[in-house]
Amino acid sequence: MTIIRQLTIATLVLCSACCANASITGVVFEDANANGIKDEGEKGIAGVMVSDQKTVVLSDKEGYYQLPDADNVIIFVTTPADYMVSLDKDTAVPQFYKRIHLKDNGLFKANKAKTNGNDFALIKRDNTSDTFKVCLHSDPQTASEKHIDYYRADVIDEMAGKDYDFMVTLGDISNEALDLFPKIARAQALAGIPNYGVIGNNDCDYDATTREQSSASYQKTYGPDYYSFDRGKAHFVALNTVFFNNDKSGYREGIDEGQLAWLKADLANVPKDKILVLMMHVPFIPFTAGDEFVNKQKLFDLLEDREGPILAWGGHWHLNTSRHITEKDGWKGKADFNMVIVPTVCGSWWSGSYDYRGVPVTDQVDGTPNGYMEWAFDGNKYTCKFKPSALSDDMQARIYTPEMRVSELGTTMVLANFFMAPEDGKVEMALDKEEWVPMEKAENVIDPYIISLYHEPYSNGPGWRMPLPCPHMWKAEIPEKLKGLHQVRVRATMPDGRKCIQARSFKK
């Protein structure tokens, strides 16, 4: 550190003791020996975003940054693509943030953190390739330690040996059992990879009187309730889409003005042609007609000048679908914009009959098995794959043929629940060695398996949980006079252009 820099920091320390407008300062540096301390010879990193969830600043040429002073604040660094941070030894949550609590505030006790010297230690990645994989979870919704056991057995243990770069959980990590956060995160840490969180409605404290209080329990384990980081050629942004309404009776869906202001400041430092990945719990597209996502249009307007692909991930629905965002949704930008509602980990809230492990089958209300997703990024391109829990990776659809005696089929109909096919997707069928023909979207059809699965006495779930019409069901006719042994193949074109084929033989 130069003498001038030493004098500057000394002046800032003095000001923080005597001036109301003092600053939070620190340095972003390359931690060559990964000990978390800026040792002699370790250089600062320029141009890195640091934020207090309001102001966004860039570190200077020597890595120093300055934020407005505050008694109680959470600050974080937007980790650059070629760097990583240390992980909490118990939870594997990346330590990209710091809490500053100079006074007890009812949420956190004073931690005696200094308003100066809040340094961020970044560790150079061994693999800085633009090609990497993300494991995406949503809604573990663990209300008890028994649910955590299900989560471990059904999902976490399956991740062993996979080459995921990191995992993200899209909210409803708990089910209003906020004291379970540390135990849930310790279970997630068994995957052995960085463990990022996104806050959901069941992760909030509804006795709170401020947004900060509502997310306090979540923050103690997972850090900021909104933040960003870079990996490869993608800019990842975690959003809090549980709109705080301070009525102690529930929540609204949306994004508040303060968060929008932060996002605008964040994206001002992100090249417009870079892929943008928005991670949220409550999606901005409505579940039913009339649902309102507060400030949806303001969010769209803020993103309007983006040029690279925009990918949005959401959970919350306990059924899955994907939609290409267009003018009908209020989108006026030119960027390719896709929203994916991902299948949930807990399926139908850990209900249904038990398998041989003592874990509920818990398929979602749309007939999709519970599970998680794998997203592979390669530069500005991405592909996705759904991994149904405890089932083969190839299980991507459930096909119903006439011999199955399903009432919806009669003697001439084939139904296909293609789990990850988009709402406006292209799904085709081929009978035996014949040519592919288009299948028709089947509206308001409930997956027959789900009806049987959750029919008493097999259901062990909450009474309000019930099967719902499947948004990714297709149908096609087969000849009435067809006899003998046959095979039907179903092919779906996925959002990334990949063609996925599933087959089922039948006798008629």
We report the CATH number of the domain holding residue 416 as 2.60.40
Q: What is the mean pLDDT of the chain?
A: 88
* Same domain as 303, residue 264: yes
* Same domain as 379, residue 436: no
398, 416, 452, 487, 505 from 401: Cα distances, Å: 10, 9, 16, 10, 8
CA distance 318 to 211: 25
* Same domain as 377, residue 309: yes
Considering the entire predicted model, what is its pTM? 0.91
- Condensed to tens digits (0 to 9), the pLDDT of residues 464-501 reads 567 889 999 999 998 888 889 999 999 998 877 788 89
- Cα 69 vs. chain centroid, distance in angstroms? 31
Structure tokens at 84: 């990583």
Q: How many CB atoms lie within 10 A of CB 162?
A: 14
CA distance 400 to 429: 12
Through-space distance between the first and last CA atoms of the chain, rounded to whole angstroms? 82
pLDDT score of 375 more than 80:
yes
pLDDT score of 205 more than 50:
yes
* Same domain as 234, residue 102: no
Question: Which pLDDT score is estimated for 453?
Answer: 77
- Condensed to tens digits (0 to 9), the pLDDT of residues 438-447 reads 999 999 999 9
**Residue 41 backbone class (left: φ over 0; alpha: ψ -120 to 50; beta: rest):** left
- Cα 382 vs. chain centroid, distance in angstroms? 15
How many folded domains does the chain comprise? 3
**Residue 448 backbone class (left: φ over 0; alpha: ψ -120 to 50; beta: rest):** alpha
* Same domain as 360, residue 223: yes
Residues 288, 314 contacting (CB under 8 angstroms): no
Closest CA to 333 of 267, 269, 234: 267
Question: Which pLDDT score is estimated for 49?
Answer: 98
Tell me which H or E stretch contains 418.
strand 413-418
* Same domain as 465, residue 414: yes
Residues 375, 391 contacting (CB under 8 angstroms): no
- Condensed to tens digits (0 to 9), the pLDDT of residues 250-273 reads 788 999 999 999 999 999 999 999
Which one of 156-160, 165-169, 251-255, 420-424 scores highest in mean pLDDT? 165-169
* Same domain as 352, residue 220: yes
- Condensed to tens digits (0 to 9), the pLDDT of residues 381-390 reads 999 999 999 9
* Same domain as 459, residue 381: no
pLDDT score of 455 more than 70:
no
Closest CA to 386 of 407, 412, 367: 367
* Same domain as 233, residue 204: yes
> Which carries the bigger pLDDT value, residue 208 or residue 78?
78
- Domain with residue 182: its CATH number is 3.60.21.10
Provide the residue range defining the domain that includes 473: 397-507
- Domain with residue 55: its CATH number is 2.60.40.10
> Which carries the bigger pLDDT value, residue 352 or residue 10?
352
- Cα 257 vs. chain centroid, distance in angstroms? 21
* Same domain as 401, residue 309: no
* Same domain as 43, residue 110: yes
Q: Residue 313: CB partners within 8 Å, gap ≥ 6? A: 136, 138, 168, 170, 277, 278, 279, 280, 340, 342
* Same domain as 78, residue 41: yes
